[in-house]
Copies of this chain bind each other. A is one copy, B any other.
Amino acid sequence: MTDIETTPLFRKLSAFVSLSEAEVTVLKELRQRRRTFTAGRDLIHQGQSDQDIYLLDSGWVCSYKILPDGLRQIVDFQIPGDFLGLRSALLQTSDHSVEPITDIEVSEVFVADLLGAFARTPRLATAVLWAASRDEAMVVEHLVNIGRRDADVRTAHFLLELGARLALVGLGSKEGFACPLTQYHLGDVLGLSAVHVNRVLRRLREGGMLTVHKGQVTFDNYDRLIAFAEFDPTYLDQERPFLK
Q: Which chain B residue lies CB-closest to A239?
A: B92
Q: How far is the CB of A213 from chain B (nearest CB, A)?
A: 26
CB pair B118 A73 closer than 8 Å: no
Query: Which residues in B have their C-beta under 8 angstroms from that of A72?
Result: 148
Name the contact of A129 in the complex, choosing from B92, B128, B144, B243 (C-beta under 8 A): B128
Q: How many copies does the complex hold?
A: 2
| Binary contact readout A123-134 vs B (1 if CB under 8 angstroms, 0 otherwise) | 101101110111
Query: Which residues in B have their C-beta under 8 angstroms from that of A184?
Result: none
CB pair A137 B87 closer than 8 Å: yes
| Binary contact readout A57-83 vs B (1 if CB under 8 angstroms, 0 otherwise) | 000000001011001110100000000
Query: Which residues in B have their C-beta under 8 angstroms from that of A120?
Result: 122
CB pair B115 A243 closer than 8 Å: yes
CB pair B129 A75 closer than 8 Å: no
Q: Does A90 contact B (CB under 8 A)?
A: yes
CB pair A147 B146 closer than 8 Å: yes
Give the CA-CA distance A65 to B122 in the complex, in Å.
32
20 A-B pairs whose Cβ atoms sit less than 8 Å apart in the complex: A65-B140, A68-B230, A73-B148, A90-B129, A90-B130, A90-B133, A91-B238, A95-B140, A95-B235, A118-B125, A118-B126, A119-B122, A125-B126, A132-B136, A139-B143, A146-B146, A146-B147, A146-B191, A147-B191, A148-B191
